[in-house]
């Protein structure tokens, strides 16, 4: 078996996060009957599934197949956060995860010497991520009437702190993998 490149390893993790994001949004879609929320969640769900496909294609273009990822970003995040109990909490957590994705993809696209095809995929996805962040921010702001702005800010801060721990584990795993090459 040929050794796995760092790029295929990383893109497999990106792919897995997008697949789990799509699955998560699909489950969330079944929990709400709000028509406006249904529309935004459906578009978001479709974007996440397309992102997973874009990473799948990119990995194939590199002459590889996606690697199985058993303990990726979404699983680690769930270990720290647990299961949010409401659509409000689920979308707040989604917003925090989307912030991280946007940051990570920006950093990756800015790496010196990154191949142009991977940068093109990153930029395509980052455009979608901007919309994801915007629609959820708007929706959360509308929820301030019911939940209060202070509760929204506190929940986002709590999720960001927990997400930072999950992300730090993933970065450490990436560093360990890269050290073996």
Rounded CA separation 172/158 (Å): 22
pLDDT > 70: percent of the chain: 98
Is it the case that residue 1 has pLDDT exceeding 60?
Answer: no
Chain-wide mean pLDDT for the chain? 93
The model carries a pTM of 0.92
**Predicted local distance difference test score (pLDDT) of residue 180:** 83
Q: What CATH number does the domain located at 6-179 have?
A: 1.20.1260.10
Question: Mind listing the pLDDT tens digit for each residue in 147-174?
Answer: 899 999 999 999 999 999 999 999 998 8
Question: Mind listing the pLDDT tens digit for each residue in 56-94?
Answer: 999 999 999 999 998 889 899 999 999 888 899 999 999
**Predicted local distance difference test score (pLDDT) of residue 95:** 96
**Predicted local distance difference test score (pLDDT) of residue 84:** 87
Is it the case that residue 178 has pLDDT exceeding 90?
Answer: no
Q: Domain map of the chain by residue range?
A: 6-179
**Predicted local distance difference test score (pLDDT) of residue 11:** 97
**Predicted local distance difference test score (pLDDT) of residue 22:** 96
């Amino acid at each position: 078996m040929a050794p796995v490149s760092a790029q295929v390893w990383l893109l497999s993790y990106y792919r897995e996060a997008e697949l789990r994001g799509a699955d998560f949004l699909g489950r969330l879609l079944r929990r709400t009957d709000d028509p406006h929320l249904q529309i935004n969640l459906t578009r978001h769900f479709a974007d996440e599934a397309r992102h997973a496909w874009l990473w799948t294609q990119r990995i194939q273009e590199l002459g590889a197949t996606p690697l199985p990822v058993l303990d990726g970003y979404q699983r680690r995040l769930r270990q720290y956060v647990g299961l949010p109990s409401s659509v409000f909490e689920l979308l707040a957590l989604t917003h925090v995860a989307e912030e991280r994705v946007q940051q990570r993809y920006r950093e990756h696209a800015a790496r010196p010497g990154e191949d142009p095809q991977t940068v093109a995929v990153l930029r395509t996805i980052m455009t979608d991520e901007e919309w994801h962040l915007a629609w959820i921010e708007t929706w959360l702001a509308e929820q301030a009437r019911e939940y209060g702005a202070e509760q929204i800010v506190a929940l986002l801060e709590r999720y960001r702190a927990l997400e930072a721990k999950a992300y730090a584990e993933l970065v450490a795993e990436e560093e360990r993998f890269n050290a073996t090459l």
